[in-house]
Amino acid sequence: MPVGTSGAVKGIDCERLRETGTQMVLANTYHLALRPGADLVAAMGGLHAWMGWDGPILTDSGGFQVFSLADRSRITEEGVEFRSHIDGAKILLTPEKSVRIQEQLGSDIAMVLDQVIALPAERAAVQEAMERSIRWAIRCQAVASRSDQALFGIVQGGLESDFRRQSATALVALEFKGYAIGGLSVGESPEAMIRVLEETIPQLPENQPRYLMGVGRPEDLLEGVRRGIDLFDCVMPTRNGRNALAFTDHGPLRLRNRRHALDPRPLDTNCRCLACRHSRSYLRHLFQTGEMLGPILLSIHNLTYYHRLLTKARQAIANNQFEAFCRKQYAGWNEGPPSEEIA
């Protein structure tokens, strides 16, 4: 799911977003509640009508902002008190308010409010956040009222195996419509993340969606799929695109490098996205001159690449060839660009 924090994936309109292969987008409860406000979005017919997006939308609960805006937030049992990054106003986001806002926004999937902490962390702090997240999940479920909106629980517990199992067991007993694994990609190593997935995913129902939040690199997607993850979101494709980095089957290309100045080839000869209709030389020129078209085109390319990667993964699974597919992908990424690219 591309991240459209404030109701838009940066630089990409809905038609171009569809062309990348995007099926579902993510928007953020905290940011939309601040500006323009959930009342306004509801008055305009909800997120789908307001954005002009007719596909599914998932809204995060604001829980990640507990982590990312830690310097301007305070956590109590009632909820999270923020200082607005816009005007400094105090905002209290409770589990109940998070659900009400998401219902006003009209997303297809809503998330419970949870407490995310940086990793690694002291075991006592991890336990406190995990147990509070369970209590908040119960409160979210108690006020959820839209039958056309699926509420997902979020498994927390840091890098502690027993806490992850405890969280998963408690949430599964509440019978949410789907389950997310949260609190990862916040400072831990890739190996630690994989270990947590291997210990957590078997605790979750196989016949309901399993969502890994905020992850990640192309290789992280494949490792998640290998272990049973169905949904991902991450800013990496678009954020890297805005910073002149393109993902390819031979690893990332950094378009600001001088070696691309006279390169007539597209980013990827197998890609039919808008960016790959141009040469690497031209794309580099756009970044060197500060033209806004550069970040737009590379964001489109990276989203197209991510969706093509996962499309091929689905096909490989259907053909019982997923492991062979992964080996081929890793071989290309590890091999790097063909030798003629190296200046």
Question: Which sequence positions are flagged as catalytic?
Answer: 60, 233
Asked if residue 176 lies in contact with residue 201, where contact means CB atoms within 8 angstroms, the answer is no
Rg (CA), the chain: 21
Q: Which residues pair with 91 in a beta bridge?
A: 82
Asked if residue 183 lies in contact with residue 211, where contact means CB atoms within 8 angstroms, the answer is no
Q: Which residues pair with 57 in a beta bridge?
A: 25
Query: If 0-12 CB within 10 Å is exposed, 13-18 middle and 19+ buried, where does residue 39 land?
Result: exposed
Residue reference for tokens 């629980």: 153
Stated length of the chain: 343
Asked if residue 337 lies in contact with residue 223, where contact means CB atoms within 8 angstroms, the answer is no
Beta strand pairing status for 73-75 and 80-83? Answer: antiparallel
